[in-house]
Amino acid sequence: MKIRAFTLIELLMVLVIISVLVSIGLFSYAKNQRRAKLSSYAEPVVRACAMDIFVWCLQTKEQTSPVSFVIDTVGSEPAPLKNCLVFDTSNNLQPSNAKMSTPGGAVSFKVLSTAPDNSAHIENGNPRGSQFVCSGGQVAQDYYVAGKLDGIGDFMVVCRITNNTHSEGAGIKCVIR
């Protein structure tokens, strides 16, 4: 009577297949973990700044001609948007190279007139000194508030602020890229 059993080669093949599947799973898990961290800490900062810009333009609807605003507390047309500026614990305004501190790490974010291709387009710091234009209660063109979290260089948060000429209408849409 012959006993049927697995050969050593068959067992090794099974181990190789299992280890490949585990390595793919770990890579996906790590990728999703980075995206979740970005979504938890950087996205609220970026979205709040985008909402400030949207509401600021909405409150200036009596101005029918385009007006350029600078995100700051001083200047000829300042827009002191609290969620776009960084303050220290004593409520002192910080320079444009200061990052927003969150429990998950430091967030750098910027206001851009074109969509960023990757997180390298987001300089370290905050949008202090950035400009945006309002006209008739909305942004004059599409603007992007993009942010990244220290330690996560392969993903970024991008919030697009649109006006009524956009096919989806005026509003804010945030994605993680």
> What confidence tens digit (pLDDT) does each residue in 28-46 have?
998 999 999 999 999 999 9
Of 141, 173, 146, nearest to 160 by C-alpha is 173
pLDDT at 1: 65
pLDDT at 168: 77
How confident is the model over 138-152, as a mean pLDDT?
A: 95
Instruction: Give the span between the Cα atoms of 103 and 74, in whole angstroms.
Output: 29
How confident is the model over 42-62, as a mean pLDDT?
A: 94
pLDDT at 74: 86
Count of CB atoms situated within 10 Å of the CB of 153: 12
Q: Report the chain's mean pLDDT, rounded to a whole number.
A: 91
How confident is the model over 128-145, as a mean pLDDT?
A: 93
pLDDT above 70: percentage of residues in the chain: 99
pLDDT at 61: 81
The reported pTM is 0.85
pLDDT at 19: 93
pLDDT above 90: percentage of residues in the chain: 70
**Is the pLDDT confidence value at 79 over 90?**
no
